[in-house]
Amino acid sequence: MVKKTLVVVDMQRAFKYSEEAIDGCTALIKEFIAHKWPIIFLEWHGEGHTYEELQSLCDGYKNVYFATKDQRDGSREVMNIVESHRLSKHFVVCGCYTEQCVYKTVVGLYVRANTKPALVWDACSRGAGQFYCTERLRVLKKEDFYKYLSFDDTLDAKLQRAPQKVVKIVENAKEIT
């Protein structure tokens, strides 16, 4: 089995819909601890800390790291930790919000690490971003996520035509092992 690195993005109370992803993130964190795989918590600067219930799952766990970011794409901060601690570049990403910081971090990891991260669908919250009209929709379709990737200016034209090469979307924690 390939060792993986979990990246938990912006799971902070300050973000209105982040609580939607707590159960999925909890399952992933427990799975990673059971496998002794590394966990990186990314936090948006100035918005408080990661939910205590998620942090407390890692009490006594030595393979956990924290980084603060001040932009949507947290891949630079993740790669600094990965390179300095020689962690796996097989990324599994979850957190808040799917179409903003999670999305930008996934694309950034693809570009910086030349790897295809796995996005765990039931461990992400869908905030009020560009996928929504005036009313907040509870379900974000995977096809919309792929469609959104096809317009990203960080990706070259070849990847924009085949966004499934950038990220693998899985339903839940059971699909990552």
Spatial separation of the C-alpha atoms in residues 93 and 110, rounded to whole Å: 12
Q: What is the pTM of this model?
A: 0.83
| CA angle, 2 then 114 then 42, to 5° | 75
pLDDT in tens, the chain (177 residues): 689 999 999 898 888 778 888 999 999 999 999 999 999 999 989 888 998 999 999 999 999 999 999 988 899 999 999 999 999 999 999 998 777 788 889 888 988 888 888 888 888 887 654 443 333 333 345 555 655 555 556 666 655 566 666 667 676 667 776
Tell me phi and psi for residue 69, to 5 degrees. -130, 160
Sequence-distant (6+) residues with CB within 8 A of 60 are none
User: Do residues 25 and 95 touch, judged by C-beta distance below 8 A?
Assistant: yes
Considering only the top CATH level, what class is 5-175? alpha beta
Domain boundaries, the chain: 5-175
